Structure 1
Amino acid sequence: MNRGAQAVVMLFFGGAILRATMSDVYLRYVKQGLRPFLIAAGILLVAAAVMALVHEFRDHRQTSDQPDDDGHGHNHSGPAAGWLLLLPALALLFVAPPALGADTASRAGSALTSSVQEADDGSWGDYSPFPPLPSGDPVKLTLLDYGSRALYGEGKTLRDRQVQLTGFIAPGADGQPMLARIILSCCAADGMPVKIGLSGDVPHLPADTWVQTTGRWVPQTATDPINGSDIPYLEVDTWQKIAPPKNPYD
């Protein structure tokens, strides 16, 4: 693979990154906040590839009457297997992978592991580490926010309030459906599920079906058999099936 071919591969990579960031495809791979960095990386790759192609074209014109080996031991060709590097770029251009979903939730432990320092007696008393919820019911919460308030705040800010959660259906260890959503630290490779148990009007739908639920906190938890984390519960009042959101991750 000569320098021109390497530049073509780099051009495809840069173009694939830019195409993904111009649509919602990049959200299948990384967090939304990384979009500016991806755009900058794509532009740099395309610019570098164009410059390399221009230099290669000029060199080719100057040495068009010379053999492939210029006599100084510099062979401009390389293994044809280098073209296989185009496959990931082509896949990024033409194949949109599904977002992480119920399969990931069933194989990974809940992200709601203990990370909040409690009072010395193991409870918060009248104090809650979370601010009060905004007025008006139902109040929209992420699964991470609801789960954190339910477990680490002992549900104090959730009592007598109706909340609205959005996630996908995932099977629990007991076979009953849970509400889940994947959270990312950086990219899909480090995705971890937030799992919320459901009681009351439970939606019995196929795995990976997205639903919007309204309900109330209940002092009920289960143990995640994968990592031993507590799984808080929501008593469902109403639910409706919805289309998958553009950004599937929390």
Structure 2
Amino acid sequence: MNRASQAVVMFFLGGAILRASVTDLYLRYVKQGLRPFLIAAGTLLVITAIVALLQELRHLNRPEAGPEDDGHGHGRSGPTVGWLLLLPALALLFVVPPALGADTAARAGSALTDNREVAYPPLPPGDPAELTLLDYGYRAVFDHGRTLQDRRIQLTGFLAPEPDGQPMLARIVLSCCAADGVPIKIGLRGQVPQAPADTWVRATGRWIPHTTKDPINDADVPYFEVSTWEKITAPAEPYE
């Protein structure tokens, strides 16, 4: 692989990063706040690749240009295995991978492992009150549901199977990127949605004073009494 070929690979990598960054595709890999850094990185790769290609073209067009040599009897070509770097770029350009979902929730322990016994503010106004699964989980477990009582609540997430096969509501929580994603799990009672795993639903109901232990990491799993639910399309930002 010569320098021109390396520049082509760099160009496609930068283009793939830019393509993901200017659409919502990047949200399947990293948190929303990292978008400017991805755009900057992709732009830098593309510009560097173009400059490298222009330099190679000027070198080839010089009449005195001889065979590619580094002055030590070695050509500038590298191993052809370097072309494999194109695979992740082409995957980003032409294949849309799914976000982390029910399979991750089934294999990883719940995110409710840090004891956060703090003064939780009242729920946001509105009926029902819209909460993230993580907020609901912390209030249900570490505030013992005090701020959740006597309120209708709306939760949004995907369905994942509990160890006994019953559906639970889940969502992946990111600190930075998908590599560090962990699930937040909410058990369901009442009008439990009957749909395949990874189906996104919006559930309305109430807090109930019931928790179980996640068999994977022994974290608390709070429960939610579903009164109504509906299927929805997966949100552009699937993670919390």
Per the shorter chain, which TM-score range? over 0.9
In the alignment, structure 1 residue 246 sits paired with structure 2 residue 233: no
CA RMSD of aligned residues (A): 1.4
1:203 paired with 2:193, answer: yes
Instruction: Give how far 1:135 is off.
Output: 2.4
Task: Show the counterpart of 1:113.
Answer: 113
For 1:19-168, what aligned pairs fall within 5 Å after superposition?
19-62=19-62, 65-69=65-69, 72-116=72-116, 118=117, 129-168=119-158
1:232 to 210, 215, 222: 222
Identity percentage of aligned residues: 68
Contact 2:172 2:181 in 1 (8 A): yes
Identify the residue that residue 171 of structure 1 maps to in structure 2: 161
User: Residues 70 and 249 (structure 1 numbering): CA distance in 2 closer, same or farther, change over 3 Å?
Assistant: closer
TM-score, normalised to structure 2's length?
0.96
The aligned counterpart of 1:191 is 181
**Amino acid of the structure 2 residue aligned with 1:102:** A
**Shift, 1:68, TM fit:** 3.5
Q: Deviations over 1:74-100 (max 9, x none)?
A: 412222221111111111111110111
**Kindly tell me: are residues 168 and 71 of structure 1, through their superposed partners in 2, closer, same or farther at Cα, counting changes over 3 Å?**
closer
Against the structure 1 CA distance between its residues 12 and 148, is the aligned structure 2 distance closer, same or farther, given a 3 Å change threshold? same
* Compared CA separation, residues 166 and 64, structure 1 to 2 (3 A): farther
Moved over 2 A (4+): 62-65, 67-74
Deviations 1:200-230 (A, max 9, x none): 1111211111100001011000110000001
8 Å CA contact 2:105, 2:183 repeated in 1: yes
Q: Residue 231 of structure 1 aligns to which amino acid in structure 2?
A: V
Q: Aligned with 2:169: secondary structure? A: strand
Q: Which runs of 5+ in 2 are unaligned?
A: none
